[in-house]
Amino acid sequence: MAKGRKKLKIIPLGGLGEIGKNITVFEYGEDIIVVDCGMAFPDDEMLGIDLVLPDTTYLAKNKERVKGIVLTHGHEDHIGALPYVLRDVNVPVYGTRLTLGLLEYKLEEHGMLSKCHLQTVTQGQTINLGVFRVEFIRSTHSIADAVALAIHTPIGIVVHTSDFKVDYTPISGESIDLARFAELGKKGVMLLMCDSTNVERPGYTMSERTVGETFEEIFMNARSRILVATFASNIHRVQQVVNAAAKYGRKVAICGRSMVNVSNKAIELGYLTVPEGMLVDIDKIKNYRPEQLVIVSTGSQGEPMSALTRMALGAHRQVEIAPGDLVVISATPIPGNEKSVSGVINELFRKGADVIYEALADIHVSGHACQEELKLMHRLVNPKFFLPVHGEYRHLRQHANLAQGLGMEKERTLIMEIGQVLEINSSEARIRGTVPSGKVLVDGLGIGDVGNVVLRDRKHLSEDGLIIVVLTIQKETSGIITGPDIISRGFVYMRESEAFMDEVKQVCKEAIAKCQGKNCLLIKNTIKDILRDYLYHKTKRNPMILPIIMEI
């Protein structure tokens, strides 16, 4: 049979060796399907960048072969790149109701909703996409309606957990479908792709429900206004705030654009249940006494423009922090956000609020499986090969170690980089070849127009600023007509350093004098070289130097 000789190709285009922009390509013969299509947030080196997309050149080149994009849940790192990628590769998108509900918002913002083909699936459903049969397995994560995938292929079954935790007591719906994983394991699974985010943490991730218990305690004792900041997408968390508010007779006001959007969508779709008359418009909170209110807001990561940050800085239009307010930050800072979150906490304390954050109480749980949960998944699925996904290199390595600790042979644990191609048939799996992959930077409306040169310039400008040397010269003789004038930005404060700038001007004059009769480029380079040495010697700084010479 010809089919038997073909191989399944798996190509991660994001999410390995990094946190975020999760996207994986599955390919067999002529058929391609894609799992997830997420964005990532820029790191500190990417100055001025708004968000980061995966490089999907490979999909664009093969777009007529792509049967569809399958989504596991509605987090930004799983759906955030779709408004960009669907422009080039407009194929059907499959996801559960809430996942597609959140995606609709994004596509609408980009004016693309009417052009896209969204297909709702339910947990437990199976669909056919070309040669692939994709099964959506009920899962639990820090967002409702999450699924894992069993991808039935001609060479065998691939189980992709996506982000998950084993929550035996989730807030709504049923628990993760462990029985189905076990059943697949019994049948025989070729490859397990499994979430590595929390592989360094021993034990179990606590159930989302434990946070509700802490909320109840806090609400029971509070005598003032309560503000809870959390991730907009964590609808179960919001539900638990609503439940505690209902129990202790408080009204709920929702604050922050994404919190309002997601909550509305979740209420509309039935994922968030709020008793009649309990929701209060944020503009109307003045009508209630502090102890009658709880405000749910964005800003748990200290994001500069978020509702909570603006409240902390006294710059929020509707909510002013008052002494006695109780602020609960129901989240952990994502690596890189520690300082912003800490800054917000300090400002809230300064304004007289009490602040409860993770160091002080159990007001957050992770959405990802810890070591014991991962071991459970490995044992249930019992795969032939293992590919750790969703994590930095260290996480992938530790996850491979964990699998080997469970008895899997080293040769069957595969650590991949994005862009590499994994080829599997029924007996072997090997990494062979690469496709284009990487980061596409979005800055304002520009997609991919900011590259390394631009970032290097921004970095240079950010560290020592710039000095512009302007002069006009006579074209024939190179004689100076006007200038040199010196303009600086981000270098030193000009008003206090006029004398220094006069010296700089003098240095430029001497540099120009050395270039009599030379061409413009040579004069520029001479000014740059001499001025760079002079400035470094005098200040140990290295500003960008831009000589501008007008010849007339």
Residues that are catalytic: 195, 368
State the minimum distance, in angstroms, from the CB of residue 296 to its own copies.
22
- Taking CB under 8 A as the criterion, the residue among 465, 505, 520, 525 binding its own copies is 465
Backbone phi, then psi, for 496, in 5-degree steps?
Answer: -90, 0
Backbone phi, then psi, for 389, in 5-degree steps?
Answer: -130, 175
Q: Which residues contact 443 (CB under 8 A, 6 or more apart)?
A: 48, 49, 50, 449, 450
Write out the binding residues for its own copies, residues 360-379 only, by CB under 8 A.
360
Q: How far apart are CA 547 and CA 525, in angstroms?
A: 8
Confirm if 136 and 130 have CB atoms less than 8 A apart. no
- Is residue 540 close enough to count as binding its own copies by CB under 8 A? yes
Q: How far apart are CA 102 and CA 114, in angstroms?
A: 15
- Give the range of 25-33, 125-133, 286-294, 544-552 binding its own copies by CB under 8 A: 544-552
Confirm if 73 and 152 have CB atoms less than 8 A apart. no
Q: What is the 3-state secondary structure (H, E, C) of 306-375?
A: CHHHHHHCCCCCCCCCCCCCEEEECCCCCCCCHHHHHHHHHHHHHCCCEEECCCCCCCCCCCCCCHHHHH
State the minimum distance, in angstroms, from the CB of residue 335 to its own copies.
5
- Give the range of 70-78, 222-230, 292-300, 476-484 binding its own copies by CB under 8 A: 476-484
Q: How far apart are CA 249 and CA 238, in angstroms?
A: 16
**CB-facing half-sphere around the CA of 368: CA atoms within 13 A:** 19
Write out the binding residues for its own copies, residues 388-417 only, by CB under 8 A.
392-394, 397-398
Residues in contact with its own copies, counted by CB under 8 A, come to a total of: 69
State the minimum distance, in angstroms, from the CB of residue 272 to its own copies.
32
- Is residue 88 close enough to count as binding its own copies by CB under 8 A? no
Q: How far apart are CA 17 and CA 394, in angstroms?
A: 8
Annotated binding site for substrate: 232-234, 364-368
Residue closer to its own copies by CB (options 77, 443) is 443
Q: How far apart are CA 73 and CA 102, in angstroms?
A: 9
- Is residue 541 close enough to count as binding its own copies by CB under 8 A? yes
Annotated binding site for Zn(2+): 73, 75, 77-78, 141, 163, 390
- Is residue 490 close enough to count as binding its own copies by CB under 8 A? yes
- Taking CB under 8 A as the criterion, the residue among 1, 2, 445, 499 binding its own copies is 445
Output the CA torsion sign for 5, 8, 11, 17: negative
Write out the binding residues for its own copies, residues 271-290 only, by CB under 8 A.
none
Write out the binding residues for its own copies, residues 191-210 only, by CB under 8 A.
200-201
- Taking CB under 8 A as the criterion, the residue among 122, 273, 287, 346 binding its own copies is 346
Q: Give, to the nearest 10 degrees, the angle between helix 371-381 and helix 178-187.
A: 40
- Taking CB under 8 A as the criterion, the residue among 213, 283, 338, 529 binding its own copies is 338
Three-state SS for 547? strand
- Is residue 359 close enough to count as binding its own copies by CB under 8 A? yes
State the minimum distance, in angstroms, from the CB of residue 54 to its own copies.
19
State the minimum distance, in angstroms, from the CB of residue 141 to its own copies.
22
Q: How far apart are CA 496 and CA 305, in angstroms?
A: 34
List interacting residues with its own copies (CB under 8 A). 17, 43-44, 47-48, 200-201, 335-336, 338-339, 342, 345-347, 349-350, 355, 359-360, 392-394, 397-398, 443-446, 449-451, 453-455, 457-466, 468, 470, 472, 481-483, 487, 489-493, 496-497, 538-541, 544, 546, 548, 550-552
